[in-house]
Amino acid sequence: MNIQHLNSAAVPFEKVTAKTFPKGPESLASGHRACQGCGEVLALRLLLKALGRDFMAVSATGCMEVCTTPYPQSAWEMPWLHVAFENAAAVAAGVDAGNIIRRRKGKLPDRRIPVVAIGGDGATFDIGIQALSGAMERYHENFIYICLDNEAYMNTGIQRSSATPFGASTTTSPAGKFSKGQNTWKKNMPAIAAAHNIPYVATASPAFHLDLMTKMRRAAAIPGPAYIHVYSPCPTGWRMKPELSVDSSRLAVKSRVFPLYEIIDGQYIINKKVDKPIPVADYLKPQGRFKHLTEEDIAQISERVNHEYEHLVKLSEVFDGPLF
């Protein structure tokens, strides 16, 4: 019943522009304990601001949970629930089921309430991928999953995850005499989400905040599960100056390291075409986690980055209509 011609691209929603930037109150208050320059909490605040005061949130264990809710304090101005590390998607699925039956019985107003599950890359790529896969496959109507990807287990002290990029030095993929750091290529999580045939998948970056907030609005408007993959610089874990978070987010897009795109009903749409990329080295150099890399290593990474980008462009050009 959800298979044929969803036409999710036509679902109306209000874009966020400089003129229509929401002036309403924050849903994630200031005063939380995130590190200076945290790109993750910046992205999260903007995403939630796009929804205003009309959602429920479920956090996986991780930096964003720890830094916002050391009892008796809470930075959350909206209903918020944390249970454990690997299960934010399943908890959010349960919240949605509870809201749906209560709405059907007239115990809640007759409208959709977005339920936003939030996890880091470890909670999403690794330990929570089963719960996330289940929730996407079961097609919970008001389910939005946000992956705040800072490319390692930062909360426990910068251990590698399957989101850690090739060549990055972490505390469990350290660079050394016999190691270049992370020796595998980053898992393609948006493609995995898209393979569940959900109506909306997007990548977003805090350096392109209007695009990021607009994608959150679209995710909430489209009925069915949505997955938003958010580039989230971690100056602490990336061994980078805190003031470079937004810069590095911009460089990641401009170097094709982190392309911005949407997958609507299976159709890839590139939001920021990067025809003349800056050198990948410009992105890598300010980050201490890559400082051990040689010119040859960087050339290898650069080749892979460009190859993946071109593959993405081909996907968007060859399949120029929705899959379902």
Partner 1 sequence: MSVTDSTKPVGIEVSLAMAEAVKLAKAEVIAAYPITPQTHIVEHLSDLVANGELDAEYVPVESEQSAMSACIGSSAAGARTYTATSSQGLMLMAEMVFIAPMLRLPIVMAVANRAVSGPINIWNDHSDIMIIRDCGWIQIFAENGQEATDMSIISFKIAEDPRVMMPLILNIDGFTLSHFIEPIVFPEEDKIKQYLPPYETSHKLDITKPMSLGALGPPEVYSEARKAMDDALLASKAGVIRGFEEFAEIFGRKYNLVESYRAEDAETIIVAMGSISETAMVAVDEMRAAGEKVGLVRIRLWRPFPVEEFLAAVEGAKYLAVVDRHFTPGFPEGPVATEVRALMYNNDNRPKIANFVLGLGGRDVPRNHFKHIVEQVKELGTAGSQSRYEMVGVQQ
Q: Which residues bind partner 1 (CB under 8 A)?
A: 53-56, 58-59, 65-66, 69-72, 74, 76-84, 86-87, 89-102, 104-105, 107, 113, 130-131, 133-135, 137-138
Q: How far apart are CA 200 and CA 290, in angstroms?
A: 33
CB of 323 to partner 1, least distance (A): 23
Phi and psi torsions of 4, nearest 5°:
-100, 125
Nearer to partner 1, 140 or 289 (CB): 140
The residue to which tokens 């948006």 are assigned:
190
Nearer to partner 1, 112 or 239 (CB): 112
Q: How far apart are CA 162 and CA 206, in angstroms?
A: 22
Nearer to partner 1, 23 or 105 (CB): 105
CB of 255 to partner 1, least distance (A): 36
Nearer to partner 1, 6 or 60 (CB): 60
CB of 228 to partner 1, least distance (A): 20
User: Residue 31 — left, alpha, or beta (φ > 0 → left; ψ -120 to 50 → alpha)?
Assistant: left
CB of 271 to partner 1, least distance (A): 31
CA atoms within 13 A on the CB side of 51: 24
CB of 106 to partner 1, least distance (A): 11
Q: How far apart are CA 196 and CA 323, in angstroms?
A: 12
Q: How far apart are CA 153 and CA 238, in angstroms?
A: 11
Nearer to partner 1, 104 or 291 (CB): 104
| DSSP symbol at 10 | G
